[in-house]
Chain A
């Protein structure tokens, strides 16, 4: 089966024309970037606001759990039929999928900032906005980036569903391969999606390293070197009934 997949992957026929592998990778990528960007525009400000003010946390967690339960395939087929076309429906479906993990990352990131640090910032006379941008957001960046990575993984995986409503994503070889029982194409498409997911995850992890302040990396390193108890104490403070961002990687469709 994997030999068939390799055969499909290296077949020159699949590398040229309007339905070639590069074109599909490009379309897949565009949908993923668009969806994560759109979701970030909605979820990051909302998560920061709720985390900063502490208002509406219950509604936020409940709402984003309800979003998680929305089946993407149902949403995409529904929106496709309502809008009478592919692009908008698919994009909205993917944005809805990407919002909960980003929201969880932003909210938990702010919530997870050491109370002592926040109090110190207030004590130094920082205004609410100063505290948010200069203390809370930089400290929240690791979890925020974690949320973005989770969202990207889910969207890359789920964009294959878009092929069902006729978008030329990498889901196409999966569905075509399945229909005509061409396992090489089927598994080949699967391998391409997994590869794309790995590459995007590595890129986002790299971006994360660039934006996370050096001091925070140092302190994380120090904590890793320290006792395991100190580490688990930190993650414990985040749990107030809502799932931590680590647990939000849930649905890779």
Chain B
């Protein structure tokens, strides 16, 4: 159950980080894309996840009870959540830094991967932390449509009018969120050694 929960909440997180980096780059390079994507991600937030769990099977033809629906729904949300911070972080990279990289002979792709993206990590990490916490607590709603995870403890406990599983479910969710958050902070620190060294980009 716990493993299901980890799987259902972290797969969307990883996929959406990758998607958000690509989309954020597009936003950063093309202004029209930026306006369009910010608009779309605002609209995405008006769709409730329980509703999205319902609409995804209608659109892509999966079974209503397929866990893929939950993964897809959370991926859509988290990507929408992350696109804006990525685009803003890339826009915030000082012009003289990119100019210096260009002058050193970095081609656009290498400049993006080795200069701009690492400098965007602190802001991206803040977004990913919020995304991971909300994913972990959201997955339990999937129990209402019958996809595993810790939410099953809530529905079981409620049906049997029994508090223990519910409390265990809440505690496990909190612990899981805390552990993942700590790991993300460690990862961020590994990726941004210059922050601890006290140097500004």
Instruction: Show the binding face of A for B, using Cβ within 8 Å.
Output: 1-2, 65-66, 68-75, 77-78, 80-82, 150, 153, 156-158, 160-161, 164-165, 171, 174-175, 178, 181, 183, 186-187, 189-191, 193-194, 197-198, 201, 228-229, 231-233, 235-236, 239, 241-244, 246-253
**Residue in A68, A201, A231 whose beta carbon sits within 8 Å of that of B130 in the complex:** A68
The answer to whether B77 touches A252 (Cβ under 8 A) is yes
With contacts A69-B137, A250-B134 taken as known, whether A243 is within 8 angstroms of B126 at the C-beta atoms is: yes
Q: Is B166 an interface residue (CB 8 A)?
A: yes
- A24: shortest Cβ distance to chain B, in Å? 14
With contacts A78-B167, A81-B158 taken as known, whether A160 is within 8 angstroms of B174 at the C-beta atoms is: no
Determine the residue in chain A with the shortest Cβ distance to B55.
Answer: A190
Q: Apart from A178-B146, A250-B134, A252-B49, list 5 A-B contacts with CB within 8 A.
A: A69-B137, A71-B170, A72-B141, A78-B166, A193-B50
Q: Is B23 an interface residue (CB 8 A)?
A: no
The answer to whether A175 touches B144 (Cβ under 8 A) is yes
A201: B residues at CB distance < 8 A: 46
- B3: shortest Cβ distance to chain A, in Å? 17
Interface residue total, chain B, C-beta cutoff 8 A: 59
**Residue in B81, B84, B154, B174 whose beta carbon sits within 8 Å of that of A250 in the complex:** B81
Determine the residue in chain B with the shortest Cβ distance to A1.
Answer: B58
The answer to whether A253 touches B166 (Cβ under 8 A) is no
The answer to whether A77 touches B49 (Cβ under 8 A) is no
Bound state CA distance, A246 and B181, in angstroms?
Answer: 19
**Residue in A66, A194, A247, A251 whose beta carbon sits within 8 Å of that of B46 in the complex:** A194
- B193: shortest Cβ distance to chain A, in Å? 17
Q: Is B45 an interface residue (CB 8 A)?
A: yes
Bound state CA distance, A175 and B154, in angstroms?
Answer: 16
Say what secondary structure dominates the interface of chain B: helix
Q: Is B123 an interface residue (CB 8 A)?
A: yes
A164: B residues at CB distance < 8 A: 144, 155, 158
With contacts A157-B50, A239-B126, A252-B47 taken as known, whether A69 is within 8 angstroms of B177 at the C-beta atoms is: yes
Bound state CA distance, A65 and B127, in angstroms?
Answer: 12
Bound state CA distance, A248 and B158, in angstroms?
Answer: 29
With contacts A68-B133, A193-B48, A239-B123 taken as known, whether A80 is within 8 angstroms of B158 at the C-beta atoms is: yes
- B182: shortest Cβ distance to chain A, in Å? 12
The answer to whether B133 touches A250 (Cβ under 8 A) is yes
A157: B residues at CB distance < 8 A: 47-51
B167: A residues at CB distance < 8 A: 78
